[in-house]
Amino acid sequence: MVKLLKYSADSIDVHLKLDAVRNAPQIYIGNPDSDGILHILKEGIDNAIDESRQSAVKNKTVGIIIDGNEFWVFDYGRGIPVEKHKLTKESTLTTIMTTLSAGGKMRSGKDASYDKTAGIHGVGISVTNALSAKFEVWTYRGKWYYQLFNKGKPGKSTPTPMAVTAVPTLPHIPKSAKLSQGTIIKFTPDYGVFDKGSKLSIRKLRDLLQLSAYLHPEITFVWARPNKLREYHQPKGLAALIDKTLHELQAEASPKHFGKHFEHHSDNIDIAMVWSDAVDEATKSFVNGSPTREGGTHVLGLNKAISEALAPFKSKRIKYRADDLRAGLVCAINLKINKPRFTNQTKEKLGMVEVTEQIKRELLPELTKFFNKNKTLVRDIILRAGEQHKANEEFKLSKKAIAGMRTAKAGKILLPEKFASALSNNPAERELFLVEGDSAGGTAKEARDRQYQAVMPVFGKILNVIKASPSKIISNKPIREVLQVVGYDQSRKDPYDRLQYGKVIFLADADSDGEHINLLLSGLFQKILRPMLEAGKIYVVDAPLYTAQAGNKRFYAASQQALEKQLPKNRSGVHITRIKGWGEINPPELREVAFDPKTRKLKRLKAIKGKRLKRFFNVLGQDTDFRKSLLGVGKTVAVK
């Protein structure tokens, strides 16, 4: 029987002032965790940036101080109005700090106080105040004023701003930075409303300030904490950000290839971009200096402008899609617009449909001029697009082919007969061992922990997928079986959303043939199962070649000389043995070497980027000796 719940006027909660923020912080800052703490600090930084950008402000410096649990933000701007507001009948400063949707960034035209800011809703700094145990503000309006707040409410000692003769000494900042005007905020987050253990990520704050320096080349960012003082200033702006991104991608934009930079700066758009030898596209987008990590309509406009500007150069011989033209593109675009509208309060995606056409209309003639002057670059872009398209088609395993991996009746993945699964139902704790041959597979099945360790024998040197066609890949039984077991399913919208293992571990014999098998397996993961590499899930057993038994203890080493150094001085009756294959040793020995987290050593394989990935793919099918040297792309670590 359904219980009827009481629902009347008394059931309706009305949150006045900032109570709504404290009751549901996730609506305003996303998850109330470490990122949420950074978010409320960023609201203060955004305000200081917006104020420093105004033409009337001479000293364009934004300062941030981290002093234990206290955060400071200051600027040299115009200050916050303190006179009585005609609507609220209280100080404007108090209104701004304690009221949602109260701010000076919502107007445009002749009545505007700000131009093209990231914030328009007037909820920013009031949310910081609401989620702070203590919040203090000093602001200069002809003279200095001060007000204190506790958990979003004016302090009893300062219910309204009070005039003061001076501002506090800024910790960890040189005395020369003393403010003669501007605004200082100082706050301590109310950790009771954040998830337990949440604290500010210094790394993420540093990254934010470094990025802000590229986006606001006219502003100097000063960041201080105990015994550390940093200054970030990037007068070259987005062009410098492009160079930094190329370095991070280990990519090149040399004149021989795609070295022509495109830049365009106007009242509406700042953009810099270059085509590089990177594998994928890397576009960073912003609106009024605020990152839009999910892109939005401004990025769509950019993409359309690129496609239409390159359309006259299209070759009848070369097939490609519009997306393929952006292979290797490294780009940063910052849209400057009044009253931006985002799809959510965290402003990660621009939602203004009209912006798409505006961006395209402005960039298309500029890109057309650029491409007409750089036809060698255009030729390279189109050739690269053709290669990209071919590669995409080549490695797109068709749904028809994947259907051959399923039973006709249940639609479930057909698992190989010799595969030994684990008992655990938790993919995160399960480990899959890809072992060389049937003999080693039998030993491995006895050595493993059946609760969470699965074993899949792989026979012989598997197909080199780098040069193979889709039909050849899917018809290759060892490859098909590996894809089936790990849970890769191309027929799904996200082929990787049902991966079955937290670790996949290669266990081939410790010889040149085994290394070759491991390398071919790594090629499969680099090309088709790359997200598993990027997530740090792929390992190789750092296998010893020699072993010896001395008393009750067994020793292992990569060389005979290294093993002899471990053995006791009295070595009578001790015989050193070279391990020929995992199928020839006892299960307890294999358990110690590969399966026991306390004793095994693993190499974590990394996802290769940029020039190294291109070299990896080129060499994998051509130079057998060099292949073997490429396997050590990680470091040996003890992994539990």
Q: Could you identify the residue written with the tokens 């987005």?
A: 238
Q: In whole angstroms, what is the distance from residue 640 CA to residue 626 CA? A: 31
pLDDT of residue 614: 67
Tokens for 472, please give them.
């050849």
DSSP E strands in 438-596: the ranges are: 453-458, 503-507, 538-541, 546-550, 553-557, 576-578
Instruction: Dig out the tokens for 194 from the structure.
Output: 């954040």
Question: Residue 635, Cα to own-chain centre: how many angstroms?
Answer: 22
DSSP-derived secondary structure for 553-581: EEEEESSHHHHHHHS-S--TT--EEE---
Q: What is the pLDDT of residues 605-628, one digit of tens each?
A: 888 776 677 677 766 655 555 554
Residue 623 has a pLDDT of 52
pLDDT band per the 50, 70, 90 thresholds, residue 390 = confident
- Residue keyed to tokens 């396997």: 631
Q: What's the pLDDT tens digit per position in 587-598?
A: 888 898 889 998
Confidence of residue 114 (pLDDT cuts 50, 70, 90): low
Per residue in 457-470, pLDDT (tens digit) is 887 667 888 777 76
Q: How far apart, in whole angstroms, are the C-alpha atoms of residue 224 and residue 207?
A: 14
- Yes or no: say if 616 and 606 are a contact pair by the CB < 8 Å rule: no
Whose structure tokens read 């986006």?
215
Separation between Cα atoms, residue 306 and residue 359, nearest integer Å? 11
Most distant CA atoms of the chain, gap in Å: 98
Whether pLDDT at 435 is above 80: yes
Joined together, the tokens standing for residue 553 give 């203890």
Q: Where are the alpha helices (H) located in 202-296, listed in sequence order?
A: 202-215, 238-248
Q: Does the pLDDT at position 375 exceed 70? A: yes
Looking at the predicted structure, is the pLDDT value of residue 389 above 90?
no
What pTM was estimated for this model as a whole? 0.65
List of domains in the chain: 19-232 (3.30.565.10), 238-393 (3.30.230.10), 399-543+579-637 (3.40.50.670)
Please say whether the beta carbons of 198 and 37 come within 8 A. yes
With a cut of 50, say whether residue 112 has pLDDT above it. Answer: yes
CA distance 146 to 162: 5
Give the sheet arrangement for strand 576-578, strand by strand. Answer: 553-557, 546-550, 576-578
Distance of CA 216 to the CA centre of its chain: 22
Tens of pLDDT, residues 416-428: 778 889 999 899 8
Say if CB 200 and CB 66 are below 8 A apart. Answer: yes
Weakest mean pLDDT among 130-139, 148-157, 366-375, 466-475: 466-475
pLDDT recorded at residue 280 = 78
Q: What is the mean pLDDT of the chain?
A: 82
Q: What is the pLDDT of residue 16?
A: 53
Q: What phi-psi label fits residue 522: left (phi over 0), alpha (psi between -120 and 50 degrees) or beta?
A: alpha
